[in-house]
Chain A
Amino acid sequence: MSTASPITSPSPSRRPSTRPINPGDRLFRRVLMGLSGVVVAVLALIAIYLAKLSWPAIHEFGLGFFWTTDWDPVKEHFGAGAFIFGTLVSSFFALALAVPLSIAVGLFLTELAPPRAAAVVGFMVEMLAAIPSVVYGLWGIFFLAPLLRLYVQPFLGRHFGWLFLFQGPPYGIGMLAAGLILAIMVTPTITAICREVFRAVPNTQREAALGLGATKWEMIRLAVVKSSWSGVFGAGILGLGRALGETMAVTMLIGNRNEISTSLFSPGQTMASVIANEYAEAGSNIHVAALAYVGLALFVVSFAVNHLARRIVKRLEMGGTR
């Protein structure tokens, strides 16, 4: 009796696809469901644990934590303002370089390159995403930073030193180096999305422009770029999500000084890099809590930014088949 045969089970036709009657299928389904649940649980546990760990700091410093810049483990007073500043400046500087570059590469790949060249260049750009972060850091320290210190920064200081961005001694390592390495690291992400967005523009639009006597450049501007702005924006936000949380290469290159400086030549600190630098030697509970508080903020912001980017890109994909 208790071993009800599949045929007599109450309502076999109600959800036939999600409620398998074969015992093997049922087991299979439960295993997959359990494993998927693990992923969700891990995400929730990270958030809960971060919140719990940072509770003393939240309680002690409140929201003021995010705009005070005083980070003093000895006096046990912590404010993350300088790291937030460093994160924003390095990320937006990186985007300012990477977005135009990615648009250019995306347009080249979809509109201009012969198919074989597009395949090779597209593959190379994707490979940039496969290089481990620490390798970028090494390259940055031993190649990029000396290059900046010896040539680029003296040049910028000499000719554009009147601008607040390019003042101070050339260290090589600093905000400029971190921003450049971030730009290289987010370019593959942004390029890949830009490429998809441009590819989604129907050919009839290109022919409409050409048929009106547009040159290739005018055709690209009128038919491709103008209708792609929201997608490119989404790509930029997705790149921002990557740049905000990038840790290893930035930690190796940013100089790790807990200060706000308006010059890109100066060393700085980001939310990610301060955690990587200090977690090992954080002695007091409140120091650990403050680091966790920074981590929690980074977690929430990255989550929100990624979610936003996905929504923009998804909406575009659905509207793209006009």
Chain B
Amino acid sequence: MTPATNAAKPPIPEPILSAKDVNAYFNAFHAVRGVSLDVEPNSVTALIGPSGCGKSTFLRTLNRLHEEIPGARFEGEVTLEGENIYGRGMDPVQVRRKIGMVFQKPNPFPSLSIYENVVVGLTLAGVKDRRLLDETAERALKHSALWDEVKDKLRAPGTSLSGGQQQRLCIARALAVKPPVILMDEPTSALDPISTARIEELLGELKKEVTVVIVTHNMQQAARCSDRTAFFFMGELVEYDRSTRLFTNPQDKRTEQYITGRFG
């Protein structure tokens, strides 16, 4: 169907998300250089690479958040389920409802309760049905493995939770609108090891229903939780392969140097 990019090995027959020749700039700085990458449905895809390699910027082009930064520019094409999200007449607001995002620092809204934080995506979309909101809150919180810890204090402020709980609250918030894809930008980098382990565990559960693309600076994390891994370096996609293969038998010299800890 889609032409196999030379980076995708083995080729993914029906990608849910597909980037073609993506270039991203900040003013004159060319941050992402001609990246093409297909994402398999119901999988976890990890983006790794040293700081400043463009992995986060690339991730933010996938839900059109990159363009919100002053001076940012984009070239290329990204298709979600066959539809170009940068196509003429595509509203970035609608795109972001289908491609959720979890950020580096847990960022629940401090003025909203736990419950309100979870369903805020729905209330933004105009949903008022109390039953639907209640059901969604419970489903999303169970799905993000937070329900048992918060079910008795749903009215408490979202910021009253611990850092790890806040991040799972943010995952629940993203899940609540049932997006086909969720992007995660180093979601555990601000968390302690135990909270990190819980979220990594959660990734395996999540992919039964959604497709996850996760940026991580932690190679062990990528090796543990992802099905495929893409290695970025200096704005380019160097190597993209099944994680088991990329971490044991990298094809590119630079990938090998990076995963063996010789730089980055």
Contacts and interface: CB of A to CB of B under 8 A. Distances in A.
Interface of A: 115, 202, 204-205, 207-215, 218, 222-223, 226-227, 229, 322
B57 to A, nearest CB: 14
Contacts of A226: 109, 111-112
B111 A208 contact: no
Contacts of A222: 109, 120, 124
Given A211-B65, A212-B120, A214-B124, A227 B101 contact: no
**Residue among B94, B96, B100, B173 facing the most chain A CB atoms (10 A cut-off):** B96
Contacts of A218: 124
Interface string B89-126: 00001111100110111011111100000001100110
Contacts of A223: 109
Contact of A213 (B105, B112, B125): B125
Contact of B96 (A202, A210, A227, A322): A210
B148 interface: no
A257 B80 CA distance: 71
Interface in B63-90: 63, 65, 68, 70
A207 B125 contact: no
B31 interface: no
Given A212-B124, A212-B177, A322-B159, A207 B110 contact: no
A167 B121 CA distance: 48
Nearest to A223: B109
Given A212-B173, A212-B177, A213-B121, A205 B107 contact: yes
A211 B124 contact: no
B124 A227 contact: no
A25 to B, nearest CB: 46
Majority SS at the chain A contact face: helix
B170 interface: yes
A288 B66 CA distance: 68
Chain B interface size range? 20 to 34
**Residue among A205, A208, A214 facing the most chain B CB atoms (10 A cut-off):** A208
Nearest to A205: B107
Contacts of B95: 213
Given A211-B63, A212-B100, A204 B94 contact: no
B181 to A, nearest CB: 12
Given A212-B173, A213-B124, A222-B124, A205 B109 contact: yes
Interface in B10-27: none
Given A210-B65, A211-B63, A213-B124, A227 B100 contact: no
B130 to A, nearest CB: 20
A270 B70 CA distance: 48
A322 B6 CA distance: 44
A204 B105 contact: yes
Given A207-B103, A208-B170, A213 B96 contact: yes
Interface in B153-209: 159, 170, 173-174, 177
A211 B96 CA distance: 6
Contacts of B111: 226-227, 229
Given A212-B120, A212-B121, A207 B65 contact: yes
Q: Which 4 A/B pairs are nearest by Cβ-Cβ distance?
A: A213-B97, A211-B101, A226-B111, A213-B96
Contacts of B124: 212-214, 218, 222
A205 B166 CA distance: 13
Contacts of B112: 226
A322 B159 CA distance: 9
Nearest to A229: B111
Given A207-B65, A212-B120, A213-B97, 20 more contacts: A202-B107, A204-B103, A204-B107, A205-B107, A205-B110, A207-B101, A207-B103, A208-B103, A208-B107, A211-B63, A211-B101, A212-B100, A212-B124, A213-B93, A215-B93, A218-B124, A222-B120, A226-B111, A229-B111, A322-B159
